[in-house]
Copies of this chain bind each other. A is one copy, B any other.
Amino acid sequence: RTLRIGLIPGDGIGREVIPAGRRVLEALPSSLNLKFSFVDLDAGFDTFKQTGVALPEKTVETLKKECDGALFGAVSSPTTATKGYSSPIVALRKRLDLYANVRPVKTVRTAKSPVDLVIVRENTEDLYVKEERTYEGPNGKVAEAIKRISEKASFRIAAMAGEIALRRQRVRDSGVDSIHSKPLVTITHKSNVLSQTDGLFRETARRALAQSQYQSVGVEEQIVDSMVYKLFRQPSAYDVIVAPNLYGDILSDGAAALVGSLGLVPSANVGDGFAIGEPCHGSAPDIQGQGIANPIATLRSVGLMLEFLGEEQAAAKIYAAVDGNLEDGKLLSPDMGGSAKTDEVVEDILRRL
């Protein structure tokens, strides 16, 4: 099987980590019978500055017509209000209907306080519909934004969370050791204030997870503020957390803090038959160009992308090589307290493939 992968480095360190993602794909053992071809695509704030558009149509069209999956690096946000600019990754998620953002957060086995959870974030609606308006009120300007929650999107994201919980349990059943013994989905919301929107999310998610195929999956709820508290007090209690878009955004950065560096945390934007791997970190202008960005979030995102394209074996190889590097602890990038360059970390991981 040959997979065609779009490479969208974006801005800043995105340009340093996406090449690392390509290298790991090219280095996968031939016994897997997987080949890759690549196409370079533009998006980002630099693209916006050059062309007036942050997400060129050509990028969207090429992904739709030619590609099986993609890797997205990072985008810089303008530091002041910039007319006409709007985040290309948010747009891409909507244009390709990549309705789930999947963010596993996992410590290595040797960690003192182990964490092994995945945040399943709805990726197309909530405040991210970006329907805003501004008007003059009696006491100055007033701005409003719409938070939209639909039954359809809530149902499918909760079902996705159920599937992921089952898949994680299958991996555990196959003998991989884990801190969890049973699958659990935690529904996060703020329905004590937003009884209609978050109320709809909560009830629909409950209904989706009450389907017979998820019978073995435990289901519980947390109000989002209390979820953040619990995430830090007893992170090992959580397996799969499902949340509307914005809470998912916040929770996944919070969860990233548990493993020590955003540079470790991958994500995949997943739709039906398509996935974009994307490291959770940003474009990191403070370290760009120095060759010291941590490539691990991207390499794990490559693994995630492959998982959602049905290549679980290839994904497992990448995860194991990354874990090997981390457990060994000799070649770590500066965010991890080491002094290795991006390339040195990548090469160590390739050797372990």
Over the window 232-270 of chain A, the binary record of Cβ atoms lying under 8 Å from chain B Cβ atoms (1 yes, 0 no) is: 110000000000001001101110111000100000000
Q: Which residues of B contact A146 (CB under 8 A)?
A: 144-147
Q: Which residues of B contact A262 (CB under 8 A)?
A: 229
Contact A145 B197 (CB under 8 A): yes
Select from chain B the residue with minimum beta-carbon distance to A78: B192
Tell me the count of chain A residues lying within 8 A, CB to CB, of chain B. Answer: 58
Q: Does A111 contact B (CB under 8 A)?
A: no
CA distance A246 to B197 in the complex (A): 15
Contact B152 A148 (CB under 8 A): no
Select from chain B the residue with minimum beta-carbon distance to A258: B232
Chain A residues 131-172 with CB under 8 Å of chain B are: 132-134, 137, 139-152, 155
Interface centre among A143, A203, A233, A252, by most chain B C-beta atoms within 10 angstroms, is A143
Contact B192 A143 (CB under 8 A): no
Q: Which residues of B contact A144 (CB under 8 A)?
A: 146-149, 196-197
Q: Which residues of B contact A271 (CB under 8 A)?
A: none
Given the interface pairs A253-B225, A257-B233, the reply to whether A196 lies near B134 with Cβ below 8 Å is: yes
Contact A200 B250 (CB under 8 A): no
Q: Which residues of B contact A143 (CB under 8 A)?
A: 148-150, 196-197, 199-200
Q: Does A53 contact B (CB under 8 A)?
A: no
Q: Which residues of B contact A90 (CB under 8 A)?
A: 193
Contact A151 B142 (CB under 8 A): yes
CA distance A193 to B90 in the complex (A): 8
Select from chain B the residue with minimum beta-carbon distance to A223: B77
CA distance A130 to B147 in the complex (A): 11
Q: Does A128 contact B (CB under 8 A)?
A: yes
Copies of this protein chain in the complex = 2
Q: Does A219 contact B (CB under 8 A)?
A: no
Chain A residues 112-143 with CB under 8 Å of chain B are: 127-128, 130, 132-134, 137, 139-143
Chain A residues 162-190 with CB under 8 Å of chain B are: 190
Over the window 63-99 of chain A, the binary record of Cβ atoms lying under 8 Å from chain B Cβ atoms (1 yes, 0 no) is: 0000000000000010001000011001000000000
Contact B199 A228 (CB under 8 A): no
CA distance A128 to B133 in the complex (A): 18
Contact A127 B192 (CB under 8 A): no
Distance of A11 from chain B, by nearest CB (Å)? 13
Contact A203 B253 (CB under 8 A): no
Contact B253 A226 (CB under 8 A): yes
Select from chain B the residue with minimum beta-carbon distance to A85: B195
Given the interface pairs A229-B257, A253-B226, the reply to whether A81 lies near B132 with Cβ below 8 Å is: no
Q: Does A108 contact B (CB under 8 A)?
A: no
Q: Which residues of B contact A254 (CB under 8 A)?
A: 228-229, 232, 254
Q: Which residues of B contact A232 (CB under 8 A)?
A: 232, 254, 257-258
Given the interface pairs A77-B192, A232-B232, the reply to whether A142 lies near B137 with Cβ below 8 Å is: no
Give me 10 A-to-B residue pairs in the complex whose CB atoms sit less than 8 angstroms apart, sorted by A's number: A87-B193, A132-B197, A139-B150, A140-B151, A140-B152, A144-B149, A225-B253, A228-B250, A229-B254, A233-B257
**Extra 8 A-B pairs, beta carbons < 8 Å, given A81-B203, A137-B150, A142-B150:** A86-B195, A127-B194, A137-B152, A139-B150, A140-B151, A142-B148, A229-B253, A250-B250
